[in-house]
Amino acid sequence: MTLMEVNNLRTYFGTPQDPRRVVDDVSFAIEAGKTLGLVGESGCGKSVTALSVMQLLPTVALNAGGEVLFKGKDVLQMPPASRRYVRGKHISMIFQEPQTSLNPVLSVQTQLLEAISKSVREGGPEGAIRYRSKAERIALAVEALRLVEMPEPERRLREYPHQLSGGMRQRVMIAMAVASHPELLIADEPTTALDVTVEAKILDLLRDLQAKLGMSILFITHDLAVIATMASHVAVMYAGKIVEKAPVDDLFAKPLHPYTERLLRCRPTRGRRGQALETIRGIVPAPEQYPPGCRFCGRCPRVFEPCQMNEPPLTEIEPGHFVACHLYDKGAKPEIWTAPAEAAEAAQAERPEDGVLLDICGLTTHFPIYKGILQRVVGHVRAVDGVDMAIRRGQIIALVGESGCGKTTLGKTLVRLLPSTSGSVFFAGQDTMEFDERSLLQFRQNAQIVFQDPYSSLNPRMLVQDIVDEGMKVHRIGGGRADRLERIKALLAEVGLEQGAMTCYPHEFSGGQRQRIGIARALAVEPKFIVLDEPTSALDASIQAQILNLLRKLQRRNQQDWLTYMFITHDLGVVEYIADDVAVMYLGRIVEQASTERLFDEPLHPYTDALLSAVPHLEKNAGRKRILLEGDVPSPSNPPPGCHFHPRCKHAMPICKEVYPDVTNMPDGRTVRCHLHGKKA
């Protein structure tokens, strides 16, 4: 049975005389109790489609036509009171970013009570009103938190958003959405930028809620692997239009539209190690720049004459499989061109083996906790708590683990952006902790960092040429201003940016382009070691593939002295594709380190095994058996005694609660900190 049917929905921004067609003639249906996945790159109109269904659009938006039939009634034509009733009782929405969607100055209880109406109409929108007491609404709030499996729900009601972890904030958002037991839940990127373990918990939670409440879900994401695990049907959106829709198994087995095909090929996998990933050239056009024919023709490798002239209709090619592409027109004879693969040349270069570049011994970074009027130190946050690691020249070592494990702090400590508490870091045989001001300046030229959020790390008041030039001036690289500008032109071309980018500001670029500017800034001083802090976090699959290809190419720019990367990420698919070695971090310590193949094929530490089991896969039954981790990462200011992981470990033994395990060197060269593999196992 069809619960909701969207027909020819059009939402424009701007003015009727100059409209920007953000959602343009979109149609789809959602069956009762089923999940429809809506996928596509950023800027394709996915979120605006969801807001149009909910009628939560800003005032500058225009409802240009179409209908949203919910149980046969058009939501767009309802009077405001009836529409609010449907929104409050039958359709709910989880917004993309819980940190910005939750009010930081209101408690969880206050925000949940806002979502739970003070009154309820018996028998529908025209029925008699019954008012709820505050005690009744608080009981409903506790029930909603229990429904989303929030630990200690009564206590969480008294807390504020900043006191909750990312996963807990997302659970509060879901609790607010499901408190009224809706029939349709719209989830807009509910797992973007979450750790794989938290993502797996949220996806499991949504599936459980769907089974308990019998609700339908419209699941919006750019992660195709998540859609494979969640949805029964999928619609692919591009530039305001649905370009393909089909049952999820059919679409992944046989994608028909070139855009869908390219999205699937962009995904990094182990099978593509040593090869350049396929990419989609260009970016999604802005609504005011849509071409007259097929909107994908400017980026399509299979474009031919009709594509540039006529817009293709959405046509059923196979039962239940619709596609909007001229390749499937009757009598079409396209001259198909496929982009040449970069893989053959990329795999031939050999990595230099010049020994250890960074040798990290007992490194700790603790932050004092101040309390009281006199601001006395009452404790420490042990962000990095005794790390030992060796990083070889020309190596890409991935640092993985959940949020709060200390990955970013370790990266910043290695490049001396944060002071260490104890331990040593030897760079090319020299202890960086003993450097004087002059030696530190030279070290900063050799060790750079690319930050997680390129927008906040680029000065919005500086031109790109000045951002890249800043480090060159400090380290006296290049000659005069004219010589440096020539170097900047060449550097921007190397990272895939046009010469005109030099005189633009950061806000004029997309997320992927800003990340390229950050990489160019780091490369400008000719470093030997770069910390890459989540460089592909929350990027679309196509942009992610471009950045990964760029990083691989730049690593080999000097055949005699390859760049060395520390790649901090929570995306294990990226790790499996790009990394040589992997270090797994938990609560400030490295619990396992091994080559990528060994670690993914046979993880030794229970925490590593749990991380790998949480990775979503496109192929059904391709992943490991799910290992559910109870609770969240403990506070680094008060870690558990013994092995820090024992409260969440299903293999915990009595010794795990008392003694932190020593490093065990395995015969195959890996290291692990676990009593299961130590002398006392």
Enumerate the H helices of 62-152 as residue ranges.
Answer: 80-89, 98-101, 108-115, 134-147
pLDDT band at 345 (very low <50, low <70, confident <90, very high): very low
Query: pTM of the full predicted structure?
Result: 0.86
292 Cβ contact list (under 8 Å, min separation 6): 308, 309, 311
Return the SS3 of 258. Answer: helix
Length of the chain: 681
Please determine, for residue 503, whether its predicted confidence score (pLDDT) is greater than 90.
Answer: yes
End-of-domain residue from the set 158, 179, 200? 179
CB contact at 8 A, 178 and 92: yes
Among 582, 620, 618, CA closest to 600: 582
Query: pLDDT digits over 293-316, tens only?
Result: 999 999 998 888 899 899 999 999
- The DSSP string of 190-202 is TTTT--HHHHHHH
pLDDT, residue 185, reads 95
Which structural domain, as residue segments, surrounds residue 160? Answer: 104-179
End-of-domain residue from the set 133, 152, 179? 179
pLDDT, residue 252, reads 93
In a domain, 525, yes or no: yes
Over residues 331-342, mean pLDDT: 53
pLDDT, residue 370, reads 92
pLDDT band at 339 (very low <50, low <70, confident <90, very high): very low
CB contact at 8 A, 582 and 575: yes
Among 611, 597, 564, CA closest to 273: 597
641 versus 118: the higher-pLDDT residue is 641
pLDDT band at 201 (very low <50, low <70, confident <90, very high): confident
pLDDT, residue 197, reads 84
pLDDT, residue 604, reads 96
**34 phi/psi in degrees, rounded to 5:** -110, 170
In a domain, 629, yes or no: yes
In a domain, 77, yes or no: no
CB contact at 8 A, 256 and 328: yes
Angle at 290 between CA 59 and CA 310, to 5 degrees: 125
CB contact at 8 A, 678 and 662: yes
Query: pLDDT digits over 561-610, tens only?
Result: 789 999 999 889 899 999 999 999 999 999 999 999 999 999 999 999 99
User: Domain count of the chain?
Assistant: 2
Q: At what angle do helices 108-115 and 166-178 cross, to 10 degrees?
A: 30
Cα(500)–Cα(465) distance, integer angstroms: 10
Give the tokens for residue 344. Answer: 């053959």
Return the SS3 of 462. Answer: coil
CB contact at 8 A, 216 and 32: yes
Give the tokens for residue 393. Answer: 């020249």
149 Cβ contact list (under 8 Å, min separation 6): 171, 205
pLDDT, residue 124, reads 59
Q: By percentage, how much of the chain surpasses pLDDT 70?
A: 93
End-of-domain residue from the set 160, 179, 198? 179
In a domain, 414, yes or no: yes
In a domain, 562, yes or no: yes
In a domain, 340, yes or no: no
pLDDT band at 681 (very low <50, low <70, confident <90, very high): very low
Give the tokens for residue 628. Answer: 């559910």
CATH for 601: 3.40.50.300
Q: By percentage, how much of the chain surpasses pLDDT 90?
A: 61
Cα(417)–Cα(19) distance, integer angstroms: 48
In a domain, 234, yes or no: no
